[in-house]
Amino acid sequence: MAGLYIHIPFCSKRCTYCDFYTEVAPDLIPILVNYIVKELNIRKDYLKNETISTIYFGGGTPSILSRDQFSEILNGIFAVFTVEENAEITFEANPDDLTVDFFDSIKHLPFNRISIGIQSFDDNDLKRINRRHTSDQAITAVKNAKNAGFDNISIDLIYGLPLQSIEDWEKQLDIALSLNIQHVSAYGLTYEEGTALWKQREKGLVKPIIDETMNEMYLLLVKKMKEKGFEAYEISNFALDGLRSKHNSSYWKQNSYLGIGPSAHSYDLVSRQWNVASIKAYISALENNTPYFEKEELTLYDSYNDYVMVSLRTSDGLDFDFLSSEFGQNLATYFLDNIRIYIENNSVIQSEKKYRLSPQGIMISNQILIQLIKV
């Protein structure tokens, strides 16, 4: 089974923390949709006839598309790929797009999961990071999605926002959990170089939350999620029973996937490809049948590092038998030699031949992973 990712690189405005490739260029949407369909046809053999089990529209802001534009891309997918009958089909959305009229317009499309980029239910937070919705719109968006028949709703939240306290973060979680959603992705704020937020920090206009408080916020997140029956199946992802994100899980399980659209990434188990991060360059290359992506053939060490880094972040953990058979005895020995100290200090939990991070290990996950990777 394989995954398909469609990158929709359009936003109505730029959030201060975002370093994804997006543009505020609504006039380019119709032509880009045409070229996304063209790329689908060009790349139809990339997955070697594997059945598509997940389709994910990410961005950017996919909910900026019209019903007809969604339909054009979905028709292009189903025309060239075999899609599993009960495939998980997700789109990301901004809350203010999710009106009753919007849901009426897409009700005949095959979407069965929605991921809503809420980030915060505090209007002051939302203004500081330049989000275009309000707290009331976020709550209404979830209600509209439910009324439209969605029973697999995920929301994104960010903790460690400027001036946010532990008490403020707890209020965010209480509001989120009162909405009876099925999945939460919660991320600690990072200051990515070149973003507006990074520049604000450099000028002293915002001050990062200290590490100790960030750790407290994360532990509170885990506690509140567990109390409401959510499984922490990956460091930043929490789901009710049976409602993990199948698409994201396929990344962590080393399944192959195809990325379509500007800046989208692809993986076929032996190499990685990434499309050019420019709408105009992407369109021009496809128009002239010239290369529009770069490619990296993976070494044994690359593949080992990828597996270690993603598997340890999940509740399923790292399977030592798989690591040994897939990457060989030398790397298996290297892994055991370097992880031993973290087992001894209870940062890593070993259960038979499975390894996963403990709650305290999550706090120092970067340190652990750096120690385990092979250069």
What's the CATH number where 356 sits? 1.10.10.920
Last residue of a domain, which of 195, 230, 252? 252
Six-digit token string for 276? 């050019």
DSSP class of 367: H
Evaluate whether 126 touches 119 at the Cβ level (below 8 Å).
yes
Cα–Cα distances in Å, from 152 out to 58, 147, 179, 182, 183?
16, 12, 12, 6, 8
Six-digit token string for 279? 């709408």
pLDDT of the chain, 375 residues: tens digit per residue: 899 999 999 988 889 888 888 888 899 999 999 999 999 999 999 999 999 999 999 999 999 999 999 999 999 999 999 999 999 999 999 999 999 999 999 999 999 999 999 999 999 999 999 999 999 999 999 999 999 999 999 999 999 999 999 999 999 999 999 999 999 999 999 999 999 999 999 999 999 999 999 999 999 999 999 999 999 999 999 999 999 999 999 888 889 999 999 999 999 989 999 999 999 999 999 999 888 999 999 999 999 999 999 999 999 999 999 999 999 999 999 999 999 999 999 999 999 899 999 988 999 999 999 999 998
Euclidean distance between CA atoms 362 and 305, whole angstroms: 18
Looking at the structure, tell me whether residues 83 and 223 fall in a common domain.
yes
Six-digit token string for 108? 């005949």
The one-letter amino acid code at 54 reads: T
Looking at the structure, tell me whether residues 233 and 149 fall in a common domain.
yes
Last residue of a domain, which of 218, 252, 286? 252
Looking at the structure, tell me whether residues 109 and 188 fall in a common domain.
yes
Euclidean distance between CA atoms 267 and 70, whole angstroms: 24
- Name which of 368, 374, 319, 327 is nearest 348 in CA terms: 368
Residue 290 in any domain: the answer is no
H/E run at residue 38:
helix 29-42
Examine residue 60 and say whether the peptide bond preceding it is cis (omega within 30 degrees of 0).
Answer: yes
Euclidean distance between CA atoms 356 and 350, whole angstroms: 7
Looking at the structure, tell me whether residues 236 and 315 fall in a common domain.
no
- The whole-model pTM stands at 0.95
The boundaries of the domain holding residue 339 are 300-372
What's the CATH number where 21 sits? 3.80.30.20
Find where tokens 């969605």 sit.
150
**Number of structural domains the chain divides into:** 2
- Name which of 312, 308, 316 is nearest 362 in CA terms: 312
Residue 323 in any domain: the answer is yes
Last residue of a domain, which of 237, 252, 267? 252
DSSP notation for 70-104: HHHHHHHHHHHS-EEEEEEEEEEE-GGG--HHHHH
Evaluate whether 62 touches 8 at the Cβ level (below 8 Å).
yes
Residue 313 in any domain: the answer is yes
Looking at the structure, tell me whether residues 114 and 222 fall in a common domain.
yes
Q: Are strands 153-159 and 183-188 parallel, antiparallel or unpaired?
A: parallel
